[in-house]
Amino acid sequence: MANPKPAFESALFDSLNRPDNLPDEIAQQIRQKIVSQAFEPGQRLPTELELSQSFGVSRNVVREAIARLKLSGYIETKRGVGSFVASEPGPHNFEILPADLLHADALEQVYQLRVEIEAGAAALAAQQRTEAQLETLRQALLRVDAAGADWRHGADRALDFHMVVCQATNNPYFVRLLSLFGRAIGDAVRTLRYASAGTDRVAQIEAEHHRIFDAIVARDSDAARAAMREHLSNGMQRRRALLQDAATKSE
């Protein structure tokens, strides 16, 4: 365990957006520091007073946030000494917290993980899919195509298509993981689809889905893996471009 040390800087945390639940946002910011290892295992956190001054909230609000982090396994408290990052921080069960995805870097990391998981799922689906699953996938693809310019409906049907690909692996763990991704990144997918409405990106998305489907039909694992990777990587690049455009306009 690392030597306990103070970790307070006046500009260590972002300003709060004054949400309805301040303890949740404070807990989320501290959690992100722990996950990114800005706070190392065994390191002492800023005191309640320091945190309350940094966030501009009462010590009771900070105390609630600390209690939530302790309950979820990210920190440990020592009476009369302070709060410390747990030696093995984080919950025992894998989780993606929606609040984390409000941060661009965390969303990028989740997308990176999604690329690796779904590329592998597409490759396995090409090997393991049944004829019945292939027909289910075909129907899912038709529903994506039929959504056309309806960005919200198109995003939801696209997520359905990706779920059917995972189901075709006949591996329940892929399905569980994608279910988790779908709930967490649904809003981000809809935002991308909305931003793509009326552009040639929609046609590109449809073509990418068809390449994934064709590779699974052909039982070509390498092609399915490559097609899924290309599709999701293009989505990541599109999201980066949107963020850059938004940053430029705000200057």
Question: 3-state SS string over the chain?
Answer: CCCCCCCCCCCCCCCCCCCCCHHHHHHHHHHHHHHCCCCCCCCECCCHHHHHHHHCCCHHHHHHHHHHHHHCCCEEEECCCEEEECCCCCCCCCCCCHHHHHCHHHHHHHHHHHHHHHHHHHHHHHHHCCHHHHHHHHHHHHHHHHHCCCHHHHHHHHHHHHHHHHHCCCCHHHHHHHHHHHHHHHHHHHHHHHHHCCCCHHHHHHHHHHHHHHHHHCCCHHHHHHHHHHHHHHHHHHHHHHHHHHHHHHC
User: Does residue 117 share a domain with residue 59?
Assistant: no
Return mean pLDDT, the chain.
Answer: 84
CB burial class (10 A; 0-12, 13-18, 19+) of residue 225? Answer: buried
Is this prediction's pTM over 0.95? Answer: no
Cα 4 to chain centroid distance, Å, stands at: 31
CATH code assigned at 107? 1.20.120.530
Question: Is residue 87 very low, low, confident or very high in pLDDT (cuts 50, 70, 90)?
Answer: confident
CA atoms within 13 A on the CB side of 143: 17
For residues 223 and 86, the model is more confident at 223
User: Does residue 27 share a domain with residue 65?
Assistant: yes
User: Does residue 63 share a domain with residue 107?
Assistant: no
Evaluate the CA torsion angle 102, 105, 106, 112 in order and state its sign: positive
Q: Which of 63, 78, 93 is the last residue of a domain?
A: 93
Tell me the β-bridge partners of 85: 75
Q: Kindly state the percentage of the chain with pLDDT values over 70.
A: 83
User: Does residue 58 share a domain with residue 166?
Assistant: no
User: Does residue 224 share a domain with residue 131?
Assistant: yes
Q: Which of 78, 93, 108 is the last residue of a domain?
A: 93
CB distance 87 to 42 below 8 Å: yes
CB distance 39 to 74 below 8 Å: no
User: Does residue 119 share a domain with residue 243?
Assistant: yes
User: Does residue 121 share a domain with residue 68?
Assistant: no
pLDDT greater than 60 at residue 154: yes
User: Does residue 119 share a domain with residue 234?
Assistant: yes
Q: Which of 59, 93, 127 is the last residue of a domain?
A: 93
Give residue 231's pLDDT: 94
Domain carrying residue 18: 1-93
User: Does residue 89 share a domain with residue 10?
Assistant: yes
Give residue 214's pLDDT: 98
CATH code assigned at 79? 1.10.10.10
User: Does residue 218 share a domain with residue 128?
Assistant: yes
User: What is the domain count for the chain?
Assistant: 2
What does the block give as tokens for 11?
């500009």
User: Does residue 143 share a domain with residue 69?
Assistant: no
User: Does residue 41 share a domain with residue 132?
Assistant: no
CB burial class (10 A; 0-12, 13-18, 19+) of residue 203? Answer: exposed
Query: In terms of Cα–Cα distance, which of 148, 160, 137 is closest to 210?
Result: 137
Question: Is residue 225 very low, low, confident or very high in pLDDT (cuts 50, 70, 90)?
Answer: very high
